[in-house]
Structure 1
């Protein structure tokens, strides 16, 4: 498979925060612990080994065995679960929402990144064992973010009016109503070997499992069980019991707000913006079909949008007796993850890493090792036919990532039989007006404003003329313009990165069971470049 790569900066799709992190700029170093290279994992292993007890391992393995008890999986997954009881075993974790049928394509890239990093670590540190983990965001309650996927430019939507849709943790939602989505999906993809495999995968996951947690676990396991991926649902009483001391600090001491608010302010001052603004208490109450914020007012603790309230003593008792009723939010979920897993590295997208950068002081305050942060792989998948079109149109890989009007203007200028770049004329005009400025200053300084106005007017006239000529050439070269736009629209649906829009099923229809092995082979998580993959079909 031919491959190419660009720097993340060349794509124009990544923030300055992420680009500066990849460049290891000094201004960002206070916000993370260790940069993701193989050498840095030695110290990360030592720190985590000291923190993560054998008792924690015992609880984790017990929960995982229970969750996998009714799932047909591979020997490599079962061995990885068993290995987690050993003090020399560590995890690499990525997390994702329970998006319908995996959601956008980058779901695969996240997990492939975790699998490939563990492979690299297993080679580098053979005295230890490393296990890839997919953390299912079962406690999220934003149903509108996960109830659809895109295929062939169409949106396949799960309309559900069941109680709890939009208020309860999405993992609890019944899969009722997905029969309609299945029928529409089946009609869209038609027949053929790959299509039938996709239909069976969707049917087995969503029509034969009662809730979204079990459906997603089945789906992810079927896709990645051959690579030893361990899938965790952390919405478990045993695991949350381990988190009680940290929940107490959060609810009664507001520790995350005190430590992250100053960091958010500093990041804003550095010009990076703030991904998440912390609340005073970053915990939800999860029970009776609702997941709502815990709010404190005058030593009384209220559950937002409900009539429920607790005194401090009552809430403390509830926390000890029913820790499963408490759910971390975006600020405290990372801490929960690092408390219950022997984790070394978190792999996420740019937006995820942005809020992780706010958390290091929080982790330090509660004395939990802060993980290595790694940007997940990103890729553009093209067919060999699309790649040949690109070459025929004389478009470089980097040019594909330009805004469409910029790309078209550049190519029109290049293939046109007349010169539509007025830059020399503009430069000459500026030079001529410089002489006029000098003349006005020597005669009557009040004329400077009039000279400036005339310069602006004439430059604007040149720009208008240049744009009119460009439009005329676009009409003349409309076939080339149409082909350029069509190619870019195919590769960048909705003028966005393919990985953020397209579902894996669209690729699976083309490449079948060879898709994931190809991604495993080609995506190196430590390469830190944007990959362009050309499949030979």
Structure 2
């Protein structure tokens, strides 16, 4: 595997500034993981806050139950034993649970978390464990119910999991029946080409989905299959047992809600004044908390001294909401702006791994941490890759392309190449023919107009029809040229479809199962062995 840094344009202006011009935006963040002094300062600060976080022994016990059920690896249990000990720190990162692990960026995030925890532990001389925070409390089913794979014919193929109509529940609470899982697994089986690794891969997927009640359960089991041996702890943010441990902090989020709202609004204004677009909604009057009512996850707002949802289905005073929290903590849920605060209460977070969109919206709660006496953890850009298979690499070299050409779109390059295959120079000759015909015909038409005015109009109409017929023949000739070069043009399409599917980076679309099926489980070990790079630089993996 050859690893080559290659720019990948895109992302928000704020994320680009964080990655490339950190000094410009350092006031919006707690610190940069890439700076070793920042790590030591953050670690010392966490040591002094031990008694203000959730009891780590109870957190470890809760996570042990969850991981024994979904991620029962000896290395994970060892990580949990370390987490239970005072002084152990955590590198974390999270994502919504996705079908068959979702897009490959999820895999790259897990790899970044594991490698960063390992490196931080070595540099700080103390235990640092990796933890993946599954955002199972999120309710956007349409965002997680599908994934894309390259089929055995190298076509972009979509897999989708349907559910019955029901309330907007958290993904972890949406029940998926066994028949739906069976159908999705068989569809994946049919799309993947036969390989020596396929039986073992499909057996793992079938085992993970057998009897699973939710998308999150299968996601956790598959992440355990892939990363359990590296000691990656899994946490589901919708775990009711975890909710009970989070209850004291939810109480603070309710009690100090007005101060938090002011902090979010001030940060939003600061970002806008700096010329940045907000990557998460900040609304006056929002409580930035969800309440689970009759299975529906409702965003709370403050109106007339009450906490209510937009439609007014529920309304509670602050005291009533706190009483409900005491009796039913499982009914409460964070949004994207309060989850960073909760994560910092539950875990001794040294650093959190974020994609570019997340880096941008994490700037919004930076003042909220201070409003509750906290401090934002260090931010670490997720590692980013594009996988280029050997055959694909040969195609790229054959046509003299660079990775940047693929990223910006191959239409112009493809037409340029096709024109070069035209030994008869048909394009040039057709254009010359149309120009010569027009030059000869137009003077004749003008002379005909002196005989009878109607002949001028008729002549111009006749000229246009003849030019159209020449253009029609030119198009047919172009089609014939493309048909003659059909095999080569399919290679151009494959390059684009493999590396920039739907015009998006590969890691945001494709699922890892195609590559595990093609290269086997050892391929993941190769990925884990790629030297870590926390600069935010995109890298191309030439297989």
Is the TM-score greater than 0.5? yes
> What does residue 97 of structure 1 align with?
96
User: Could you say what secondary structure the match of 1:44 adopts?
Assistant: helix
1:340 & 1:472 partners in 2: Cα distance? Answer: 67
- Asked whether the 8 Å contact 2:54–2:246 carries over to 1, the reply is no
Asked if 1:512 is matched to 2:520, the reply is: yes
Please state how far the C-alpha of 1:188 moved relative to its aligned partner.
Answer: 2.1
- 391-400 vs 244-253, which deviates more? 244-253
User: Could you say what secondary structure the match of 1:286 adopts?
Assistant: strand
* Structure 2 length-normalised TM: 0.81
Count residues with an aligned counterpart: 478
2:395 & 2:499 partners in 1: Cα distance? Answer: 12
- Asked whether the 8 Å contact 1:106–1:499 carries over to 2, the reply is yes
- Asked whether the 8 Å contact 2:54–2:245 carries over to 1, the reply is no
Question: Which structure has the larger Rg over C-alpha atoms?
Answer: 2
> What does residue 537 of structure 2 align with?
529
Residues 73 and 481 of structure 1: is their aligned pair in 2 closer, same or farther, counting only changes over 3 Å? same
* Structure 1 length-normalised TM: 0.82
The 4+ residue runs of structure 1 with deviation greater than 6 A are 409-418, 471-477
Question: What does 1:386-405 align with in structure 2 at a 5 Å threshold?
Answer: 386-405=392-411
1:247 & 1:72 partners in 2: Cα distance? Answer: 28
2:408 & 2:204 partners in 1: Cα distance? Answer: 37
Question: What does 1:18-37 align with in structure 2 at a 5 Å threshold?
Answer: 18-37=15-34
Residues 132 and 72 of structure 1: is their aligned pair in 2 closer, same or farther, counting only changes over 3 Å? closer
Match of 1:195 among 194, 198, 201: 198
Residues 211 and 306 of structure 1: is their aligned pair in 2 closer, same or farther, counting only changes over 3 Å? farther
1:63 & 1:533 partners in 2: Cα distance? Answer: 38
How much is the aligned-residue C-alpha RMSD, in angstroms?
A: 2.7
2:311 & 2:195 partners in 1: Cα distance? Answer: 50
> What does residue 489 of structure 1 align with?
497
Q: Which runs of 5+ in 1 are unaligned?
A: 421-470
1:174 & 1:254 partners in 2: Cα distance? Answer: 36
> What does residue 334 of structure 1 align with?
340
> What does residue 467 of structure 1 align with?
none
1:490 & 1:473 partners in 2: Cα distance? Answer: 29
- Asked whether the 8 Å contact 1:249–1:255 carries over to 2, the reply is no
- Asked whether the 8 Å contact 1:300–1:311 carries over to 2, the reply is yes
Please state how far the C-alpha of 1:170 moved relative to its aligned partner.
Answer: 0.8
Residues 23 and 472 of structure 1: is their aligned pair in 2 closer, same or farther, counting only changes over 3 Å? farther
Residues 375 and 318 of structure 1: is their aligned pair in 2 closer, same or farther, counting only changes over 3 Å? same
Residues 298 and 55 of structure 1: is their aligned pair in 2 closer, same or farther, counting only changes over 3 Å? closer
Please state how far the C-alpha of 1:89 moved relative to its aligned partner.
Answer: 0.8
Please state how far the C-alpha of 1:26 moved relative to its aligned partner.
Answer: 3.6
Residues 187 and 229 of structure 1: is their aligned pair in 2 closer, same or farther, counting only changes over 3 Å? same
Asked if 1:170 is matched to 2:198, the reply is: no
2:33 & 2:413 partners in 1: Cα distance? Answer: 34
Please state how far the C-alpha of 1:73 moved relative to its aligned partner.
Answer: 2.1
- Asked whether the 8 Å contact 1:523–1:531 carries over to 2, the reply is no
> What does residue 128 of structure 2 align with?
130
Residues 388 and 289 of structure 1: is their aligned pair in 2 closer, same or farther, counting only changes over 3 Å? same
1:55 & 1:282 partners in 2: Cα distance? Answer: 21
Cα deviation, 1:447-473, whole Å, max 9, x if unaligned, reads xxxxxxxxxxxxxxxxxxxxxxxx999
> What does residue 233 of structure 2 align with?
230
- 310-319 vs 354-363, which deviates more? 310-319
Q: Which runs of 5+ in 2 are unaligned?
A: 151-155, 428-474
Please state how far the C-alpha of 1:399 moved relative to its aligned partner.
Answer: 2.7
Question: What does 1:31-430 align with in structure 2 at a 5 Å threshold?
Answer: 31-37=28-34, 39=36, 40-53=38-51, 56-71=55-70, 73-126=72-125, 128-152=126-150, 153-161=156-164, 163-164=166-167, 167-176=168-177, 177-189=180-192, 191-237=194-240, 239-252=242-255, 253-279=257-283, 280-305=286-311, 307-408=313-414
2:478 & 2:498 partners in 1: Cα distance? Answer: 20
2:215 & 2:139 partners in 1: Cα distance? Answer: 12
Cα deviation, 1:145-169, whole Å, max 9, x if unaligned, reads 11111112111111111534xx111
Asked if 1:4 is matched to 2:4, the reply is: yes
> What does residue 440 of structure 1 align with?
none
Please state how far the C-alpha of 1:328 moved relative to its aligned partner.
Answer: 0.5
Please state how far the C-alpha of 1:18 moved relative to its aligned partner.
Answer: 1.9
Cα deviation, 1:204-238, whole Å, max 9, x if unaligned, reads 11223223333222111111111000001233455
1:504 & 1:218 partners in 2: Cα distance? Answer: 15
Cα deviation, 1:341-400, whole Å, max 9, x if unaligned, reads 111111121111111011111111111221111111111101111112111211123333
